[in-house]
């Protein structure tokens, strides 16, 4: 039976999905809620068994137009938790992951400002040498540049998320835009316990190729190229390969 969470620190875990039947049950089974926490799955039009699987784990299963930003915003609009945690369908939380978030979001003393949000350390599976190197780079970027990505299970105070207007309704890099906005409100909490995310997209396209493509895309984003354009280029580069 779920135990009560600390007062004023309940968590809503929001999982956007489209056709994720292969790994969704494993992902949701790693979400261990305390009393007052909630699990919200937002489907963007699945045609497989994703919805049936989700309903075995939570009564909070919503339908949305496709688009990860739209799906996550809808989940956030229905959430009541004090903290929102956005979890990809192929990412596994560590044991006690929600309690880790609760501790990270509470200041050890009044003189230390509370973090606006944060993310987990990243492990990519299977742990091939190439994927270990990518995870190392991601963790280095998160620590020194304060720029974790969505596959690191981003979390944010619900009040701040609402103040920021949620995720930008963009087809791409919505996580980067949110993190940049969060950083203007304080230093992010980066917890040492890792989430495990699937390396399927790197393995499908090739580790080196995917890494270079991702870095070029993010670099162009920081240079001001619109996310819709980057999404089109990203898909086109995949098609041409």
Q: What average pLDDT score do residues 112-118 get? A: 83
Instruction: Say if 185 falls within a structural domain.
Output: yes
Contact in structure between 234 and 217 (CB atoms under 8 Å): yes
Instruction: Say if 3 falls within a structural domain.
Output: no
- One domain, residues 212 and 175: no
Model confidence, pTM: 0.87
- One domain, residues 133 and 224: no
With a pLDDT cut of 90, the percent of the chain lying above it is 71
Helices 174-183 and 68-78 cross at an angle (nearest 10°) of 50
Residue range 134-183, pLDDT digits in tens: 999 999 999 999 999 999 999 999 999 999 999 998 877 899 999 999 99
- One domain, residues 139 and 228: no
Instruction: Say if 5 falls within a structural domain.
Output: no
Question: 40 in helix, strand or coil?
Answer: strand
- One domain, residues 133 and 213: no
- One domain, residues 64 and 78: yes
Instruction: Say if 115 falls within a structural domain.
Output: yes
pLDDT at 234: 66
- One domain, residues 92 and 207: no
The b/e string for 186-206 (b: 16+ C-beta within 10 A; e otherwise) is eebbbbebbbbbbbeebeeee
pLDDT at 36: 95
pLDDT at 172: 79
Instruction: Say if 58 falls within a structural domain.
Output: yes
- One domain, residues 28 and 92: yes
pLDDT at 240: 43
- One domain, residues 67 and 167: yes
Instruction: Say if 30 falls within a structural domain.
Output: yes
Domain count along the chain: 2
Phi, psi for residue 11 in degrees, rounded to 5 = -125, 135
- Residue ranges making up the domain that contains 216: 199-241
Task: Please report the sign of the dihedral spanned by the C-alpha atoms of residue 225, residue 142, residue 8, residue 70.
Answer: positive
Instruction: Say if 4 falls within a structural domain.
Output: no
- One domain, residues 35 and 119: yes
- One domain, residues 189 and 240: no
- One domain, residues 189 and 159: yes
Instruction: Say if 188 falls within a structural domain.
Output: yes
User: The CATH number of the domain where 31 resides is what?
Assistant: 3.90.550.10
Which residue shows structure tokens 């009541």?
80
Residue range 209-239, pLDDT digits in tens: 677 777 777 777 677 777 677 677 666 655 4
- One domain, residues 78 and 113: yes
């Amino acid at each position: 039976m779920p135990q009560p969470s600390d007062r004023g620190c309940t968590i809503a875990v929001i999982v956007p999905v489209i056709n994720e039947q292969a790994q969704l049950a494993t992902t949701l089974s790693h979400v261990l809620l305390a009393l007052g926490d909630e699990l919200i799955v937002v489907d963007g039009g699945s045609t497989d068994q994703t919805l049936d699987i989700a309903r075995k784990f939570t009564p909070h299963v919503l339908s949305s137009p496709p688009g990860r930003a739209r799906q996550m915003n809808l989940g956030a609009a229905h959430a009541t938790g004090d903290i929102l945690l956005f979890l990809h369908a192929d990412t596994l939380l560590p044991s006690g992951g929600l309690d880790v978030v609760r501790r990270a979001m509470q200041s050890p003393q009044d003189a230390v400002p509370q973090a606006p949000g944060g993310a987990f350390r990243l492990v990519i599976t299977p742990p091939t040498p190439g994927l270990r190197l990518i995870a190392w780079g991601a963790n280095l970027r998160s620590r020194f540049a304060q720029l974790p990505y969505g596959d690191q299970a981003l979390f944010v105070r619900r009040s701040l998320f609402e103040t920021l207007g949620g995720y930008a309704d963009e087809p791409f890099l919505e996580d980067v835009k949110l993190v940049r906005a969060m950083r203007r409100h304080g230093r992010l909490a980066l917890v040492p316990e890792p989430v495990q995310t699937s390396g399927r997209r790197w393995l499908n396209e090739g580790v080196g190729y995917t890494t270079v493509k991702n870095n070029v895309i993010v670099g162009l984003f920081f240079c001001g190229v619109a996310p819709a354009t980057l999404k089109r280029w990203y898909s086109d580069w995949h098609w041409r390969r």
